[in-house]
Amino acid sequence: MNKSELASFLDRSQDVLIGLSDKLWDYAETAFEEWKSATAIKKFLAGQGFFIEDKSGGIDTAFCAVYGSGKPVIGILAEYDALSGMSQQPGSVVPEVLTPGGNGHGCGHNLLGAGAVGAALGVKEYLGANKKPGTVKLFGCPGEEGGSGKAFMAREGVFDGIDVAFSWHPMAVNALLDMSLLANYQVLYKFRGKAAHAAAAPHLGRSALDAVELMNVGVNFLREHVIQEARIHYAITNTGGFSPNVVQPVAEVLYLIRSPKTPQVEEIYRRINKIAQGAALMTETEVEIEFIKACANVVPNKTLSKVLYDNLSKEQLPVYTAEEIAFADAIAPTCTKSREAELSQWIGPVEEDLRVYTKRLEGKNLCDLVMPFYETTADRVLPGSSDVGDVSWNVPTGQIVTACYVLGTPEHSWQLVSQGRTAIGHKGMLLAAKVIAGACVDVLENPELVQKAQTELDRRLGGHPYQSAIPKTVKPKAISKL
Ligand SMILES: [Zn+2]
């Protein structure tokens, strides 16, 4: 079997992969409660001859599906979690709730999961047909959204012994995800005060809600005194009830603290803890600080990016039907991300390329080309985070994105949910499966790539081994259990 036969095999498998992707879209389960989604993938891969190691790292909805034996050992990362409250009709060009209060795949992890499964299936076929040594491990990674499932898995050593890892993400372009993302901590601050009648006995009450408000004011002043790249977000997850005439005895605020490197996050976290303690002191309440999760910054790997780029630039890109183009043209006006913001994210500071690619895509809402790859330029940092970061500290990791949505589609939006169950999304998913499977073939045929990628990772880490930022006692938590 050669690469083009492998691509044809995946073309023949597309119906089953699309079926799996749509099933995950329909289930739309959120972090660490992806019971049906994980079962669907496990069942499918077990039926294809993969051996299933269940509950990887002690997480109920994590798993590892293994095929083959011997070296190299290639990891492929799959995700399948949805976002809460994002229910949306598929294939619609207007916001329309499908299930009131329901969840939705606002980050396209249904496509991500099915595409990763497709890549693993392709590698299995290649190993079998060519009787090659080598092992493929499809990691079922739950809770990427707000849960950092992979960081918990990495803390438990789930990725030990893997030579290289590949992943991808649905986006609006075909490109390398060859950049760093921010490290983060998520922390819940729980204030406890004393309830009292707010009019009759206000002097007896100690307001936890006041404490939350004062803490947020303190942190908002802190913003001026942190590094430029840091990001601090919060959500008040418990306001202490709906009665203004009761002094709120309980209130909680969830913080997400981000910065390019984990030690920077740690420093800001310690300062925020002082502000929380100060707010408690001011209000005579008590604060409990609960560490929810952390993830490391992503360490890109040019060696693997190059392998992925070679495959992406040689692969046949999706051809869209008139109906798909009409759908794209109808939904595009609702998409708020500007063309410049969309493309500069991938092209970065190379202004000439930005002009060239903007011109090439003029008048088009679907990306039908591959963004340039800069092998020698310095790493860029995107202002987001991914738990792939924790994998990338342990294993050389390469990632791509493929066009699954119209240009300008904002992340975590109804437009994205809508497009995740359309032929446009499916075509991008199949492309990702082919490109990753092709990159795996290159690793199987050129074992020196493993050493080269590992040497690059060692150089980038500069002698600092991976240390999980999540305390040993912290367990993954579903959103519904916060
Ligand atoms: Zn995502």
Q: Which residues surround ligand 1, an ion (CB under 5 A)?
A: 107
Cα of 384 to ligand 1 centre, how many Å? 10
In the predicted model, is pLDDT for residue 109 greater than 90?
yes
Reported as a single tens digit per residue, the pLDDT across 379-433 is: 888 888 999 999 999 999 999 999 999 999 999 999 999 999 999 999 999 999 9
Cα of 25 to ligand 1 centre, how many Å? 13
Cα of 105 to ligand 1 centre, how many Å? 9
In the predicted model, is pLDDT for residue 348 greater than 80?
no
Cα of 172 to ligand 1 centre, how many Å? 13
Q: What's the pLDDT at 81?
A: 98
CATH of 183-295, one of 3.40.50.280, 3.10.580.10, 3.30.70.360, 3.30.70.3270: 3.30.70.360
Confidence of residue 181 (pLDDT cuts 50, 70, 90): very high
As a whole number of Å, the end-to-end CA separation of the chain is: 49
Reported as a single tens digit per residue, the pLDDT across 366-376 is: 999 999 999 88
Cα of 230 to ligand 1 centre, how many Å? 20
Q: What's the pLDDT at 155?
A: 98
> Region 122-140: what's the mean pLDDT?
97
Confidence of residue 7 (pLDDT cuts 50, 70, 90): very high
In the predicted model, is pLDDT for residue 482 greater than 90?
no
Q: CA 386, 388, 392: angle at the middle one, nearest 5?
A: 130
Percent of the chain with pLDDT over 70: 100
Cα of 173 to ligand 1 centre, how many Å? 15
Cα of 354 to ligand 1 centre, how many Å? 25
Reported as a single tens digit per residue, the pLDDT across 19-46 is: 999 999 999 999 999 999 999 999 999 9
What are the domain boundaries of the chain? Answer: 3-179+297-461, 183-295
Cα of 140 to ligand 1 centre, how many Å? 14
Cα of 14 to ligand 1 centre, how many Å? 22
Cα of 109 to ligand 1 centre, how many Å? 6
Average pLDDT, the chain: 96
Reported as a single tens digit per residue, the pLDDT across 52-72 is: 999 999 999 999 999 999 999
In the predicted model, is pLDDT for residue 481 greater than 80?
no
In the predicted model, is pLDDT for residue 188 greater than 90?
yes
Instruction: Specify the CATH architecture of the domain 3-179+297-461.
Output: 3-Layer(aba) Sandwich (3.40)
**Is 0.85 topped by the overall pTM?**
yes
Cα of 168 to ligand 1 centre, how many Å? 9
Cα of 20 to ligand 1 centre, how many Å? 18
Q: What's the pLDDT at 377?
A: 81
